[in-house]
Chains A and B, each alone.
Chain A
Amino acid sequence: MTGPVLTDGTAGEQPRSADLSGVPAKPNPTGADGEIGGTFWRRFVFRRPLVALIVQRLGLSVGLLFAVSLMIFGGIEALPGDFATTYLGQSATPQAVENIRKDLGLDRPWSERYLNWLGGAVKGDFGTSWASKNSVSEQIGNRLGNSLFLAFFAALISVPLAVGLGMLAVQFRNRMPDKIINVISLAAISLPEFFIGYLLIMFFAVKWGVATFPATVYESMSFTERLSAIALPVATLVLVVLAHMMRMTRAAILNVMSSAYVETAELKGLSTFRIIARHAAPNAVAPVINVIALNLAYLVVGVVVVEVVFVYPGMGQYMVDAVTVRDMPVVQACGLIFAAFYIFLNMAADILAILANPRLRHPR
């Protein structure tokens, strides 16, 4: 290739590769030291764009997590109301409030408390709950397990279902099955999740009695008992996330199917299966991965309402309970863990999408 890389259009064809040109521009401070660092980074980006991009994503994620921790802490500082007054209720004399604040260390400056908290959180210690005096990490361990259990089964059902329905919709594009799939999934995404939850409870638990409610799980329950307990919340979650993933899969595959290289494959006389599996699928992976990750993150983070509706002892409910009594260490820990999941899943999607791009895997 003779021309400059950026002007002859080679970089502009895939949306991902736009990142390539975006990377070198960013770490380019104009100071004297920055110039040297900038040149090194630039050279590195040209030689190993894949590693450079992944390193950049990792760095961004860590930075983002710190920013989020600061925002959570700051946000809670700014909240009106106070644990001591809520806790003491009627008997809140100024002296008693002062004592409790001192016990909890609230009289020290916020920056010191933030650094203490952050130092603990990095080591996995989120302090003790103000309300129950138990270790937050221990309590969360249990609750997080429950939430992940729920999210895992919701994902296990919804992801293959969404991708399968998306492919089916492509196969029957603009015909009856496609339209039916579209209408139902749109209806499901348009209803609020608590409404779907109550509908399911009304029909399946109350009227027909085929499912259990509430969906509370205990230590003593067997695996199958747990599964039957979470049937309704899983169904609710699946209905909520299905439409988005299904429609993105459909759009991504349709986009690839109308490309010139799929036409080339057709004009080679290849079978439909080979065209989809070998020529279309590898190029539709990146956008599909992205939307799946977004929805997986939602399954972990967005379950607050569903857990409350179904009285499920997960992270969401724990956080809501803690907010009502102003149990700040618990709220902070939950917020940070949710953020970490969200950031991690999105970063994983980004990195997978980068890996799926042959232009980055095999630089010139």
Chain B
Amino acid sequence: MPELLSVKNLKIEATSYPPGEPPKVVTLVEGVSFDLQKGKVLGLIGESGAGKSTIGLSALAYGRGGCRIIGGEVLLNGRDILKLGRSGINSVRGAQVCYVAQSAAAAFNPAHKLGDQVIEASVRHGIVTRDEAEKRALYLFRVLGLPNPETFGDRYPHQVSGGQLQRAMTAMALCPNPELIVFDEPTTALDVTTQIDVLAAIKHAIEETHTAALYITHDLAVVAQVSDDIMVLRHGKTVEYGTTKQVIEAPKEDYTRALVSVRQTKRDEAADQSGTLLKIEHVHAGYANGFKVLHDVSMHLPKGQTLAIVGESGSGKSTLARVITGLLPPSEGRITFDGKELPKALKGRTNDELRRIQMIYQMADTAMNPRQTVRDIIGRPLSFYFSMHGARKTERVKELLDQIEMGPRFLDRYPAELSGGQKQRVAIARALAARPELILCDEPTSALDPLVAEGILNLLLRLQEETAVSYVFITHDIAIVRAIADSVAVMHRGRLVRFGPKSKVLSPPFDDYTDLLLKSVPEMEIGWLEKVLKTRRMESAGN
């Protein structure tokens, strides 16, 4: 069978401009080769910086942000698209090869209607007339399960949800009837319950249209559901390349094995959950415009333990964290900390009350001043809460750096000189510096690669053992809940759906929402998606 896409010995470089240093040439991808046949799906998997997006874009002969393809061949139907001129490549892009970006919300132009954007490439390339393109778009909206397909195209990007946008982006890629689609993390930004729908829609659409695809993701469990072959990448080089079955069930390389077994840590809950550090009673909260986010939420957390709050975006879990910290005073209800009621608003709290509750954010990047060194960042709570200065302060900062397994050589680094995982560690050290009794962790690992995230989780668990600190851990990821929680609160649309010890919350009988949530988490098992969809269909038929 002839190859549709054949990439040979690809080499990609970029020039980086570190501040205060001469420009550096960095090799992003080296010696990568693969073949893709018509109608097949190849999964590219690896952590951030592995070069998977860069490789995916090379199928469109495109280098993002100054990347240059300097070696190798990209043969599409036997023709090297790297050698085509500007107009030559433009007739390939959007016609033979299409691209689905990670964030459809950013990839759609906010100024134009979705329908116009979906058919733009087909019409512009003269593949079909406008009428035919509109008909095809309608067909694709139906195949992808979008609501009101007849009028969906008249809406603007900001008028539909993230999951719908991601499906619209897939429709946009499928519309010109291309031979190849590059999916770049199409479900990463979505909630699990949405992800499964989009995943199913993409898989169904690929099968319907016999389009070949490159599927890029960092989640092995996701790629196992859609691809025929898998290529594992690290630092721009191929680690392992084989059929999906072989890579998932019998990985040859250590790195692949680590990826397969990641997120399988489980911890037993604390036996005694009687004592109480934090108690939330009948809390209602909303924003100034009258939008009510939390309805009658109650839960509690024993000393030295972890309460996981699970929910999707919009469930109100981050709002609850803001209420606990006092950033958003609740309209009703009360919060008791260590037996004493906390003043509702931040302004009313004493320094000591502030000190005892610290926070870690999802984006360590934006939660740190880029112009302060690690020493300043960690040292700030020391001088603020404990009036520490000079050598004593430096000593304590070094101690904290040891605790987060980083060491004193990081003292004078700026956040920009740290990796994502290191930044999150510094953020943890900053929280620890205040010697808090409770740390609110707002999705601290969801922006990190799986292996790095696991390191952070283990660090948090170790710190809990050493310092008996309690965590409220906000997450959308059930695997994390299994790994770290003692008790679990499931939230949905601002209401508490389920609360109790982990073993009870995560075992049947379930309520409908928890059931859906648990079933939507991809498992590292080929055919899992079909199985779930089948049970869903049977259930809806049964109803």
Q: Is the CB of B124 within 8 A of A268?
A: yes
Given contacts A2-B314, A6-B291, A359-B158, contact A269 B319 (CB under 8 A): no
Answer whether A24 and B289 are a contact pair too, CB < 8 Å, given A261-B110, A271-B90.
yes
Contacts of B160 in A (CB 8 A): 1
| Chain B positions 145-166 with a Cβ under 8 Å from a chain A Cβ | 155-156, 158-162
A269-311: which residues lie under 8 A (CB-CB) from chain B? 269-271, 274, 278-279, 282-283
* A270-B156 in contact given A7-B314, A39-B290 (Cβ < 8 Å): no
Contacts of A269 in B (CB 8 A): 89-95, 121, 124-125
Determine the residue in chain B with the shortest Cβ distance to A360.
Answer: B158
The A-contacting residues of B in range 15-64, CB under 8 angstroms, are 57, 60, 62, 64
A362 at the interface (CB under 8 A from B): yes
Chain B residues whose C-beta falls within 8 Å of the C-beta of A359 in the assembled complex: 110, 156, 158
A264 touches B158 (CB 8 A): no
Q: By the criterion CB–CB under 8 Å, are A264 and B289 in contact?
A: no
- B329 contacts A by Cβ under 8 Å: no
A362 cross-chain contacts in B, Cβ below 8 A: 155-156, 158-159
CA A282 to CA B110, docked complex, whole Å: 9
CB nearest neighbor in B for A262? B109
Contacts of A21 in B (CB 8 A): 287, 289
A264 and B107 form a contact (CB under 8 A): yes
Q: Closest residue to B318 on the A side, CB-wise?
A: A7
Give Cα distance in the complex from A102 to B392, angstroms.
Answer: 76
Whether A265 lies near B109 (C-beta < 8 A) is: yes
Is A259 close to B, CB under 8 A?
A: yes
Cβ contact within 8 Å between B93 and A268: yes
Binds A, one of B69-77, B98-106, B135-143, B430-438: B98-106
* Given A2-B314, A362-B159: A261 and B109 interface contact (C-beta under 8 Å): yes
**What sequence of 0s and 1s flags, for each residue 236-275 of chain B, a beta carbon within 8 Å of any chain A beta carbon?**
0000000000000000000000000000000000000000
Contact check, A4 vs B124: say whether CB atoms are below 8 A apart.
no
Q: Answer whether residue A352 sits at the interface, using C-beta atoms and an 8 A cutoff.
A: no
Q: Are the C-beta atoms of B93 and A358 separated by less than 8 Å?
A: no
* Contact between A266 and B62, CB atoms less than 8 A apart: yes
B93 & A266 in contact (Cβ 8 Å cutoff): yes
For B99, list chain A residues within 8 Å (CB): 264, 267
Q: Assess the B494–A264 pair: CB atoms within 8 A.
A: no
Is residue A128 contacting chain B, with contact meaning CB distance below 8 A? no
CB of B9 within 8 Å of the partner chain: no
Interface: A364 (CB within 8 A): yes
Highest count of chain B CB atoms <10 Å: which of A3, A45, A268, A364:
A268
The distance from the CB of A198 to the nearest CB of chain B, in whole angstroms, is 42
Judged by a CB distance under 8 angstroms, whether A28 is at the interface is: yes
Judging by beta carbons under 8 Å apart, are A4 and B314 in contact? yes
Scoring B57, B121, B155, B319 by chain A CB atoms within 10 A of each residue's CB, the highest score goes to: B121
**What are 9 A-to-B residue pairs whose CB atoms are below 8 Å?**
A2-B493, A4-B293, A6-B291, A8-B314, A261-B106, A267-B99, A269-B124, A270-B120, A362-B156
